[in-house]
Chains A and B, each alone.
Chain A
């Protein structure tokens, strides 16, 4: 069964919406700057330069929510534009996040540790599932809601889960993607791993040293053919292949030969019924850590041999921590979309 993509939306440090984002990429405008929060001011980060209140006002969002949920609502609303809720179309939402409402929890917990005072009601935002339920509410989706949390591969896994649910007939249409706000928790976490570049990150460059962190959200709408006839939306692309495999090498590092990435690319091509020669472009994870880029390069070489298509990582311009793939595919208008996922463990 064919899976159609009939809407997309995104927000990141290089723009709100596809047009702004594409313009920034074309002009090689980077969104990575010195952070503006207390916790980010020492680092180069891909921050969205608007406060929660500014964003809520601009996009007419009334819900009391975490920044993670807010960014998700903005991107998902863009993606769902032109669509409407209908009894005849079984519609769901599958979001993904790594930090969930940590941006709220960490502020309260800091107050608690420092002055013993906290607003306990704020912890209602902590659970990742809550952010997805709020995004669904913002779109008026009352059906199936799910949240995936698999670090860097989260959003790609959400696309895959959505496509499989449509194929099984459980859903006709599903809004899928991911969202993560920049938090002190993640900055300190990656600092403890010592894989930050104090300068701009340099994916696939000989002098690469590490990553920059960022925030953002990206969503697409997946539909079956039947759903598309009812929603009257136009397909911008198909989602034709996907796979998820585990590297099972190390909790935070990739294997030197990129076994997980090899397995998932091979299977994704199989699901799509394509060969490596059919692929015109690869958008890589390209975190700019020496370990990732080596592993990924080896995996690409082993699949594509002598005929490696152009590949790149846009991390140098726009950093979206942990779930960047959805947005990237949009920039290329899904000319040929083959999802590949390697869960980095």
Chain B
């Protein structure tokens, strides 16, 4: 078991510094992208000006997690499918349309996926392991796998999370390239995994490719933990599944569409276990065709 010490999420829901995100879930609010905290509390004003939404969200969640953790993180693992889109688009536009020989480097510097992890290490003056994974809709799941390996390697406080930001351009790509027709959204969720016993943890994670049947894969996954569909108290899923679960939440209806929404679903699952007489929560991420992410949360 990989225990969860603390979680911080910024999303379309009122999730930041909310102790029970599960109970306060509401429908997606198309008027607002995310319910943002006052970033000035976390990031100096002059730095804030230059940071894109994904960097603000990632850095703020990481700092909030650090505030709730006594020791410095000894690993930082970040997942993002599409990364820093706003600065990528900005730099593309800048160099394609510019007639000057001099370009501002800020957007370029902040366009790479690892800027999120980099800003976190800079913001926390943290010299530890720092990794960025980008695997489409499974970016959070592969990051979790890395974080679990860090705990296996003897690390004690591992920050792991995922972040995405939307830009209007993405709407052009729905639904053919960006799967699904839910309204696009942004979001970030960060977790601290620890080797110390806590009340709730992540039992198992799988990132699967070229799958034939979601239902069979779920059954196989649960069987490796001696569980069946009947043992799952809550399933949080991106798509319809042809299996009958006790209770189902379609999480994209709450997060909107972004490729790391399963990280937010994991946050919801954690809070559900905390406040209900339940033992097992399954997060099913089948946003893209033949790829499947499965996360099993359990009471400790």
Contact = CB atoms under 8 A, between A and B. Distances in A.
Interface of A: 98, 100, 105-106, 109-110, 113-114, 120-121, 123-124, 126-130, 132-133, 136, 142-151, 157, 161, 164-165, 168, 170, 184-185, 188-189, 191-194, 243-252, 259-260, 263, 343, 345
B177 A113 contact: no
Nearest to B170: A123
Which 8 residue pairs of A and B lie closest in terms of their CB atoms, listed nearest first?
A189-B108, A192-B105, A188-B95, A192-B103, A129-B136, A345-B118, A149-B113, A246-B130
B38 interface: no
Interface residues of B, dominant DSSP: mixed
Contacts of A106: 92, 96
A121 B176 contact: yes
Contacts of B117: 150
Interface residues of B, number: 55
A262 to B, nearest CB: 10
Given A98-B112, A168-B149, A251-B115, A148 B95 contact: no
Interface stretch (B62-70, B121-129, B180-188): B121-129
Contacts of A105: 92
Given A145-B209, A193-B108, A130 B173 contact: no
Given A146-B142, A193-B108, A246-B127, A151 B133 contact: no
Interface of B: 76, 81-83, 91-93, 95-97, 102-105, 108-115, 117-119, 121-122, 124-136, 138-139, 142, 145-146, 149, 152-153, 172-173, 176-177, 207, 209-210
A120 B130 contact: no
A182 to B, nearest CB: 15
Given A121-B176, A149-B114, A244-B130, A127 B82 contact: yes
A144 B177 contact: no
Contacts of A251: 109-110, 115, 118-119, 122
Given A148-B131, A193-B105, A252-B109, A142 B210 contact: yes
A121 B177 CA distance: 7
A343 B114 contact: yes
A165 B133 CA distance: 14
A145 B96 CA distance: 33
A110 B91 CA distance: 12
A211 to B, nearest CB: 14
Contact of A129 (B121, B134, B176): B134
A144 B111 CA distance: 27
Given A149-B133, A251-B118, 18 more contacts: A109-B92, A121-B177, A123-B173, A127-B82, A129-B136, A129-B138, A150-B114, A150-B132, A157-B131, A168-B149, A188-B108, A189-B91, A244-B131, A246-B118, A246-B126, A246-B127, A246-B128, A246-B130
A127 B136 contact: yes
B175 to A, nearest CB: 12
A193 B105 CA distance: 6
Contacts of A126: 82
Contacts of A113: 93, 96-97
Nearest to B172: A120
A146 B172 CA distance: 27
Contacts of B129: 243-246
A67 B82 CA distance: 19
B121 A148 contact: no
Nearest to B150: A164
Contacts of B209: 133, 136, 142-145
